[in-house]
Structure 1
Amino acid sequence: MQEAETPAKSLPSSTLRFKDLVPVLYQEGRFQGDPVTLGVGGFGRVELMTTIKHGKYYAMKRVSKKQIVAKRQEEHMLFEKKILKAIQCDFIVRLYSTFKDTRYIYMVMDFCSGGEIWTKLKEVGRFDEPIAVFCTACVVEAYAYLHKKNIMYRDLKPENLMLDQRGYIKLVDFGFAKELMRGDKTYSFVGTPEYMAPEIIKNQGHDFAVDFWSLGILIFELLAGSPPFSSSEPQKIYAKILDGELKYPPYMNEAAKSIISKLCRPRPGQRLGNTKNGIKEVRHHRWFGNMNWHKLRLGQLEAPTVRLIRKGPCYINFDRFPVDHTKADEDFSGWDRDF
């Protein structure tokens, strides 16, 4: 990893020690004095940490080793670490260090203080066009970076998009990411039902085209407040996706409908972003007509998302979670030797 690219203000990962990390505590409310939890998932929790000396904040993902073994996710975890360690992209969360003990593995990452896009979307109902355009453009840049490195993301959804303090979007959670050589296909059944491309559901083998399908679904959800294909039962969602009829709300404009329908074409080879000119075609679509891609990459745009970010304690933009006193079982299988 090139330390040269590390901005001076951040701590080089090599000097970050587990014992230097201390939990940030809620300062008020019913959880006052408890450690701040930023999120809870099937595998573990993400906690807000800081260092005694530097006062920089980190998000630390803590995952039960035993559960990873039980759900046969060892390869996924090792691959997630490998990917995140190698990534140097402003639109993807940065991994600083990993640690482990007998019960957990810990991943110490960027703290994106603006919170999840999902939370913001629920708060406001649906996004104004400029906010949706900006969020999607950040994702397009993350995709361009990953696809160039032959990595499919496969888990796009508002829950996996975080806002940094400036309102720029970072992609988090690489549990479903996969390395794939151009021209190859993979047959695993992964993703979030609402965002799954038809070829995954039909088990026909899939490639990078699935990321463009999910981009279309994301644009729809950001503008409408809910995804186009939904139901409480996954089987019904799959049936709707295969049926493929997109019903647009009346307030959605022509440019938005155009980019969504081109990204969500049933045939992967015809999807915007997956034809011969690649991701450039997405950038050049008229829905992004006002986007200055160069300035976005340099971080020189004023993010319209800043108005979604609340001011207050560092955890103000996150839901609150009670502390979890249960301890995971120990695991000595040794799958995490290289972690």
Structure 2
Amino acid sequence: STLKFKDLIPVLYQEGRFQGDPVTLGVGGFGRVQLMTTVNHGKYYAMKRVSKKQIVVKRQEEHMLFEKKILKAIQCDFIVLYAAFKDTRYIYMVMEFCGGGEIWTKLKEGRFDEHVVVFCTACVVEAYAYLHKKNIMYRDLKPENLMLDMKGYVKLVDFGFAKELIRGEKTYSFVGTPEYMAPEIIKNQGHDFAVDFWSLGILIFELLVGPPFSSSEPQKIYSKILDGELKFPPYLSEAAKSIISKLCPRPGQRLGNTKNGIKDVRHHWYSSMNWHKLRMCQLDAPTIRLIRKGPCYINFDKFPQDHTLAEEEFSGWDRDF
């Protein structure tokens, strides 16, 4: 892209107690995401800023380099990235600004209707189809990593746990978010693309009902996952129960991971979905009513400014960044 780092300027809060401060869209262990625009103000961007020192301390160098490599190679409407920059203190990833906010924030207001969940997770299926075709596992599906654009379409963000894998091989790293981890990751039996279908089943359950396996202690979450009992509430439709059950058995029997691959997922719960129109973003998104109108940052929580500066880092791991 022709975007230059020096052209980016922070968007400022227009009102409230943070008036005049730069807008922060999110804060995590990785750093923070800021809302930026360009000098000629044609467009908004979300810029993730990560301390290089922290990356080294947490031994995340390879993950960062791979995340950038993936995002550079991706051209899919359901996945977001424009450019990456660096200086002596930070790595910056500049992404499309999804003004509708996180699915996670919307969930706090209550569970979603089934037709909304069908639409949201169909967008995820599209992103998966694209990634898996490129031999990339995503491995970090959760409501916090799903953003809504202003048309209500769902986009995948955060590729910190993504990994390239040759078909037929397995990998043994212990990664993911506890509630969404497939049993084979927890048991360290080696895993492959099947873990993405497991987490899709968990996502569908969470959007319709709430998290199926939760506890404040990861160990307890793992035990619940290994027990593998999903308790369906009476209001869940037969079709929803069916897709979740088929996405969450043993890896070899998981929908999406058998001989017809992702086609089986598309033909199951999504039989009424017009996939072509979804891909062309020609469907009216039922999520649009979840998006509030107002300043461009209205769908995000507000965060105070961070005045601390990360330490400089000169080890050179980011030479090719």
Fold shared, TM-score > 0.5 on shorter chain? yes
Which residue is equivalent to 1:313?
295
Aligned mate of 2:83, from 74, 85, 97 = 97
Q: Which residue of 2 aligns with 1:284?
A: 267
What displacement does 1:194 show? Answer: 0.3
Equivalent runs, 1:69-148 vs 2, <5 Å = 69-93=56-80, 95-123=81-109, 125-148=110-133
Q: 2:198 aligns with which of 204, 213, 216?
A: 213
Match of 2:280 in 1: 298
Amino acid at match of 2:186: I
Whole-angstrom distance in 1 between the partners of 2:107 and 2:67: 27
Q: Where do 1:8-23 residues align within 5 Å?
A: 13=1, 15-23=2-10
Is the partner of 2:68 in helix, strand or coil? helix
The aligned amino acid for 1:60 is: M
Partner of residue 238 from structure 1, selected from 192, 198, 222: 222
How far apart, CA to CA, are the structure 1 residues paired with 2:126 and 2:139?
A: 15
- Equivalent in the alignment of 1:7: none
Q: Which runs of 5+ in 1 are unaligned?
A: 1-12
Q: Distance in 1 between matches of 2:9 and 2:230?
A: 48
TM-fit CA distance, 1:217: 0.0
Mapped partners of 1:332, 1:100: distance in 2: 12
Distance in structure 1 (CA, Å) of the matches to 2:252 and 2:28: 34
Distance in 2 (alpha carbons) for counterparts of 1:323 and 1:249: 42
How far apart, CA to CA, are the structure 1 residues paired with 2:66 and 2:254?
A: 28
Q: Secondary structure at the match of 1:335?
A: coil
Aligned to 1:40: 27
Aligned length: 321
Distance 1:162 1:168 in 2: 8
Q: Kindly state the Cα deviation for residue 289 of structure 1 after the two structures are TM-superposed.
A: 2.7
1:275 corresponds to which of 258, 266, 269: 258
Residue 53 (structure 1) shift: 1.4
Deviation at 1:54, TM superposition (A): 4.1
Percentage of identical aligned residues: 88
Q: How many Å separate the matches in 1 of 2:278 and 2:30?
A: 34
The whole-number CA distance in structure 2 between the counterparts of 1:53 and 1:330 is 31
Per-residue Cα deviation, 1:32-67 (whole angstroms, up to 9, x for no partner): 000000000102100000001142100000000000
Q: Which runs of 5+ in 2 are unaligned?
A: none
Q: In structure 2, what is the Cα distance between the partners aligned to 1:98 and 1:149?
A: 21
Amino acid of the residue matched to residue 274 of structure 1? N
> Which of 140, 159, 164 is equivalent to 1:179?
164
Query: Aligned with 1:132: secondary structure?
Result: helix
Note the alpha carbon deviations across 1:83-128, whole angstroms, 9 max, x for none: 00000000111x22211111101111100000000001112x1001
Indicate whether 1:191 and 2:173 are aligned. no
> In structure 1, what is the Cα distance between the partners aligned to 2:273 and 2:296?
30
- Residue deviations 1:253-285 (CA, integer Å, cap 9, x gap): 1100000000000x1010000000000000000
CA RMSD across the alignment: 0.7
CA drift of 1:82 comes to 0.2
TM-superposed CA distance for 1:159, in Å, is: 0.3
> C-alpha separation between the residues in 2 aligned to 1:169 and 1:220?
17
**Residue in 1 that maps onto 2:137:** 152
- Alpha-carbon displacement from aligned partner over 1:134-170 (angstroms, at most 9, x marks no partner): 0000000000000000000000000000000100010
Q: Does 1:200 align with 2:176?
A: no
**More displaced, 232-241 or 54-63?**
54-63
**TM-score of the superposition, structure 2-length normalised?**
0.99
What is the SS of the residue equivalent to 1:305?
Answer: helix
What amino acid maps onto 2:31 in structure 1?
G
In the alignment, is residue 49 of structure 1 matched against residue 46 of structure 2? no
Note the C-alpha offset of 1:207: 0.1
Could you tell me which amino acid in structure 2 is paired with residue 325 of structure 1?
Answer: H
| Distance (Å, rounded) in 2 between the aligned partners of 1:56 and 1:338 | 28
- Tell me how far apart the structure 1 counterparts of residues 72 and 28 of structure 2 sit (CA, whole Å): 22
